[in-house]
Amino acid sequence: MDFSERLKEVAVEHFNTNLINNQASLLKMDNVIDFYTKFIYGLNSLSKYDKQVYRLGIKVYLSFDGDEELMNLMDEWEKSILPRHCEILDPYLVNVEKKIVVVRTLVHLLETMIENIIVKNRYLAEDEIREEISIVLKSCE
C-alpha cells in the first residue's frame, strides 16, 4: 500500500467513519447541550493514537496535505457538517428566527474546541465546554 492509500485509509476512512461515528454513538440525545458538551469533553479522553488520527484528519481537512483526492473526500464530508447539525438542532430551534446562524456559530465553536483539544493538546473542563455551548444554544434550553 503506497503512502497516499494509507493516508486515505487513516485520515479519511478511520477519521470519518470510525472515530467521529464512534464518539457520537456513545452519546444519548436527552438534552442537546449535554449532547454537544459530552461529545467535546469526550475528546479529552481519546487515546494517543486516536488523537493522532484525528489530528491527521484535521490536517487533511484544512488542506495541509495537498493530495487532490483526499481533499475532495474531505470536502464532501465538510459539506455534510452544517446539514447534519441542522438536523440535530431543528427540533430545539423551533422558535428561532435565524436557525442557520445558530448552527454556523455552534460549528465554529465546536471546531475551535476540537482544535484546542486535538491539535493543541489542551484539556478543556466539562463546565467550561458547557458554558460556551450554552451561550450559543441558549434558545434550546
Averaged pLDDT score across all residues of the chain: 79
The backbone torsions φ and ψ at residue 20, rounded to the nearest 5 degrees and listed phi first, read -65, -50
pLDDT tens sequence across 50-89: 888 778 777 766 665 566 776 777 677 778 788 888 888 8
pLDDT given for residue 16 in this prediction: 54
**What are 110-117's contacts with CB under 8 Å, separation 24+?**
110/36, 110/40, 113/40, 113/43, 114/40, 114/43, 114/54, 114/58, 115/58, 117/40, 117/43, 117/44
pLDDT tens sequence across 18-45: 555 555 555 456 788 998 999 899 999 9
35 and 29 Cβ atoms separated by less than 8 Å = yes
If phi > 0 it is left, if psi is from -120 to 50 it is alpha, else beta; for residue 98 that is beta
74 and 10 Cβ atoms separated by less than 8 Å = no
